[in-house]
Chain A
Amino acid sequence: MDLVTSILSIAVFAGTSLVFATVGEIIAERAGILNLGLEGMMIMGAVTAFATAYATDNAYLGVLVAMIVGGLMALIHAIATISLRADQVVAGLALTIGGTGLASFLGQELGPGGGPLVGLIGPKFVEVPIPGMSSIPVIGEILFNKDQLVYAMYLIVPLVWWFLYKTRPGLHLRAVGENPQATDALGVNVFRLRYLYTVIGGMFAGLGGAHLSLAYTPGWTENLTGGRGWIAIALVIFATWNPARAVVGALLFGGVNAIQFRLQAEGTTISANLLNMTPYLLTVIVLVAVTYFEAFRKKVGAPAALGIPYNREERV
């Protein structure tokens, strides 16, 4: 396998959790709910996925539990911000702070006999080459020699894109985030839709966390997500709230991870700590570039009612 193929292959693998989290956040933000609890939901998804898979010896159950946990955490955010009209920025931060603490707590309690999970080796998703397609030169290795969750991503992204832009419920979803007053007047239940899509967004974040602890870096360590939830929030802006473009961004970041691996494997003299800065610095650079060019075109594409609580009695 040549260098470029190997880097692209790792990029897809490393980018998968980012794609799930970013697409989930796009769904929630399109409905008008900014959920900065992404990092907290991802890390809770990661720890519960691994704990479940370890206890039941079934990685699929781990994914299921991670999605339920992500959805439940998003439900807390929905109750606080939609029904109780709490500030979305601070509520999301609280979810991340609480979720990170809870994941650390559970990581020390959910192991065998109430012990720690750290250091355990459990079931994981491994590469399942797709017969025929995986032997296509170059592309086969990059795309079709991956685990099941990567294949799930190939299906989910086009599906979400189609749902958002080509279906009536998708239109309602976007409308709720753009102009909830008008959508309400059309007889669409703004509250119900915002609840629904916030929770679905959380389920995607949990799924992203599950890919980390069950496939990408199997097992549990504190700080497993390492800020991926936050990078995903930046990717939402990069993608201008379009799931198809989110894939490009996530691959870019996966690629940076892959190059890092290569450099470390080749025994570079650059300190790992300095090398690890690249994705975070890249996030800032990409964000600056996107903001600059979008401002130039006078449209950033953010849903107009993003972050604003909807209150039937207060017309804007």
Chain B
Amino acid sequence: MIGFTLEKRLETSTKTNLLVLAGSLLVALSAGALLLLAVGASPLEAYGAMLKGAFGGRLEIVETLVRATPLILTGLSVAVAFRMLFWNIGAEGQLVAGGIAASAVALFLPGAAPWVPQNAWVYLPLMGTAAIAAGAVWGLVPALLKSSLGVNEIITTLMFNYVAILLYQHLFNGPWKDPEGFGFPGSAEFGEFAFLPRFTGRLHLGLVIGLVAAVLVWIVFTKTKWGYEIALIGENETAARYAGVSVFRNIVLVMILSAGLAGLTGFSEVAGVSHRLQQGLAVNNGFTGIIVAWLAKLHPLRVVVVAVLLAGLLVGGDQIQITLGLPAAIGQVLQGAILLSVLGGDIFSRYRLRMIRTTAKEA
């Protein structure tokens, strides 16, 4: 009889890692190809159109970077929390809370405090701070419930997503709806002092905020004692406690950083792209951030690269909806497939598959 056994690798070479990654991507893309074939589309044509739609020219690359901007920030948000195995699935809601807070400042501060100078140097920092604070508050409730009572954070962060999204829909459909908006749901447009500066097309300063945040998180992870404590709790909570690390304090601090980053994403989206509170803020950036963070192996600088690639999948998906009439959801399907196959493939980086011959049937 021939069977297979897994043998632990003593060390994993870069070559092995790359081969495993390539194999995993191939599995995911093949699964997507089968789906495309099943609905009567040509996988090669579809993938080609996606690639072209996402990276085929200057305009396409600009659009992909616009899409990547929120993913960099949510990817970092998730990476910070997952680093200590705190399962923050709530980046989506924290992002929306941040978007609501930033919009509140832009919409109502000019009326409430006319003495505040209406220029970008004053307003953008105020909006950003409000967004970080709102995101952090949204994340702190689950963090405190977890650290004080041990309440499962996966469920609480997730339920808070729904609450935030419903609140946001309530606001732009109801009390914050623009009376001069001809009945369209959405708030009034912000004053120009609340717009993030744009470089080209819709590409805005949020991308730079994301890049700076990536470097800062990288510094926290690799150069500070706090970063070491976070990683230690993630590796072995008991050992961390024995070493005198306060788990309670770290859960709270990590969630302020993680949820604050997600809140900042909401600011970047409303001030950079929509310039008002309207439909399109809760488009799964928080969930995609989970995929980004995990594929980047929670490494802050890799988050940037993965975010751009996954944004390409989403923009490519939108493109084939327009050009080939295929559902844009193919982008999301591929993301899930890639994450699953990379997760499953990881074992082949850690173990070697060996064929063995056995004489008798085992177990």
CB neighbours (8 Å) of B89 from chain A are 93
Q: Does A159 contact B (CB under 8 A)?
A: no
Q: Does A24 contact B (CB under 8 A)?
A: no
The 8 Å CB contact of A295, one of B150, B162, B287, B291, is: B150
Tell me, in angstroms, the Cα distance from A225 to B150 when the chains sit together.
28
CB neighbours (8 Å) of B291 from chain A are 94, 97
- A219-277 residues with Cβ-Cβ distance < 8 A to B are 227, 230, 233-234, 237, 271, 273-274, 276-277
Q: Does B149 contact A (CB under 8 A)?
A: yes
Write the nearest CB–CB distance from B79 to chain A, whole angstroms: 12
Task: Spot the interface stretch: B109-117, B229-237, B330-338.
Answer: B330-338
Asked whether A295 lies within 8 Å of B347 as measured between CB atoms, the reply is no
Asked whether B327 lies within 8 Å of A97 as measured between CB atoms, the reply is no
Q: Does A288 contact B (CB under 8 A)?
A: yes
Known: A105-B329, A227-B162, A277-B163. A90 touches B344 (CB 8 A): no
Indicate the member of B162, B169, B291, B346 with the most A CB atoms within 10 Å: B162
CB neighbours (8 Å) of A87 from chain B are 343
CB neighbours (8 Å) of A97 from chain B are 284, 287-288, 290-291, 332, 335-336, 339
Binary contact track A169-202/B, C-beta < 8 Å → 1, others 0: 0000000000000000000010000000000000
Write the nearest CB–CB distance from B30 to chain A, whole angstroms: 14
Tell me, in angstroms, the Cα distance from A283 to B161 when the chains sit together.
12
Asked whether A109 lies within 8 Å of B39 as measured between CB atoms, the reply is yes
CB neighbours (8 Å) of A295 from chain B are 149-150
The 8 Å CB contact of B151, one of A114, A189, A288, is: A288
Indicate the member of B39, B154, B344 with the most A CB atoms within 10 Å: B344
CB neighbours (8 Å) of B155 from chain A are 230, 233-234, 237, 283-284, 287
Task: Spot the interface stretch: A3-11, A60-68, A76-84, A122-130.
Answer: A76-84
The 8 Å CB contact of B154, one of A79, A85, A89, A98, is: A89
Asked whether A109 lies within 8 Å of B327 as measured between CB atoms, the reply is yes
- B160-179 residues with Cβ-Cβ distance < 8 A to A are 160, 162-163, 166-167, 169-170, 173-174
A190 nearest CB neighbor, chain B only: B363
Write the nearest CB–CB distance from A240 to chain B, whole angstroms: 13
Q: Does B213 contact A (CB under 8 A)?
A: no
A94 nearest CB neighbor, chain B only: B339
Asked whether A86 lies within 8 Å of B156 as measured between CB atoms, the reply is no
Chain A at the B interface: mostly helix, strand, loop or mixed?
helix
Write the nearest CB–CB distance from B299 to chain A, whole angstroms: 15
Tell me, in angstroms, the Cα distance from A91 to B343 when the chains sit together.
7
A187 nearest CB neighbor, chain B only: B363
Asked whether A98 lies within 8 Å of B152 as measured between CB atoms, the reply is no
The 8 Å CB contact of A273, one of B169, B284, B329, B332, is: B169
CB neighbours (8 Å) of B287 from chain A are 93, 97
Asked whether A84 lies within 8 Å of B347 as measured between CB atoms, the reply is yes
- B60-92 residues with Cβ-Cβ distance < 8 A to A are 87, 89
Tell me, in angstroms, the Cα distance from A230 to B39 when the chains sit together.
30
Tell me, in angstroms, the Cα distance from A96 to B287 when the chains sit together.
10
CB neighbours (8 Å) of A230 from chain B are 155, 158-159
Asked whether B332 lies within 8 Å of A101 as measured between CB atoms, the reply is yes
- B105-163 residues with Cβ-Cβ distance < 8 A to A are 145, 149-152, 154-156, 158-160, 162-163
Tell me, in angstroms, the Cα distance from A95 to B332 when the chains sit together.
11
- B contacts with A, residue count (CB < 8 A): 47
The 8 Å CB contact of B344, one of A84, A108, A227, A234, is: A84
Asked whether A284 lies within 8 Å of B327 as measured between CB atoms, the reply is no
CB neighbours (8 Å) of A100 from chain B are 332
Write the nearest CB–CB distance from A116 to chain B, whole angstroms: 9
Write the nearest CB–CB distance from A127 to chain B, whole angstroms: 30
Write the nearest CB–CB distance from B115 to chain A, whole angstroms: 34
Q: Does B294 contact A (CB under 8 A)?
A: yes
Asked whether A76 lies within 8 Å of B329 as measured between CB atoms, the reply is no
CB neighbours (8 Å) of A98 from chain B are 332-333, 335-337, 339-340
The 8 Å CB contact of B163, one of A90, A96, A281, is: A281
Q: Does A165 contact B (CB under 8 A)?
A: no
Q: Does A154 contact B (CB under 8 A)?
A: no
The 8 Å CB contact of B174, one of A40, A271, A292, is: A271
Known: A101-B331, A237-B155. A277 touches B339 (CB 8 A): no
Write the nearest CB–CB distance from B329 to chain A, whole angstroms: 4
Tell me, in angstroms, the Cα distance from A98 to B313 when the chains sit together.
13
Asked whether B159 lies within 8 Å of A86 as measured between CB atoms, the reply is no
Asked whether B167 lies within 8 Å of A277 as measured between CB atoms, the reply is yes
Q: Does B40 contact A (CB under 8 A)?
A: yes
CB neighbours (8 Å) of A36 from chain B are 154
Q: Does B35 contact A (CB under 8 A)?
A: yes
CB neighbours (8 Å) of A86 from chain B are 343-344, 346-347
Write the nearest CB–CB distance from A112 to chain B, whole angstroms: 14
Q: Does A206 contact B (CB under 8 A)?
A: no
Q: Does A55 contact B (CB under 8 A)?
A: no
Kindly list the 10 A-B residue pairs having the minimum CB-CB distance in the complex, ordered from nearest: A98-B336, A101-B332, A273-B170, A86-B343, A104-B329, A94-B339, A105-B329, A84-B344, A101-B333, A108-B327
6 examples of A-B residue contacts, CB within 8 angstroms: A102-B329, A277-B163, A277-B166, A280-B162, A284-B159, A288-B149
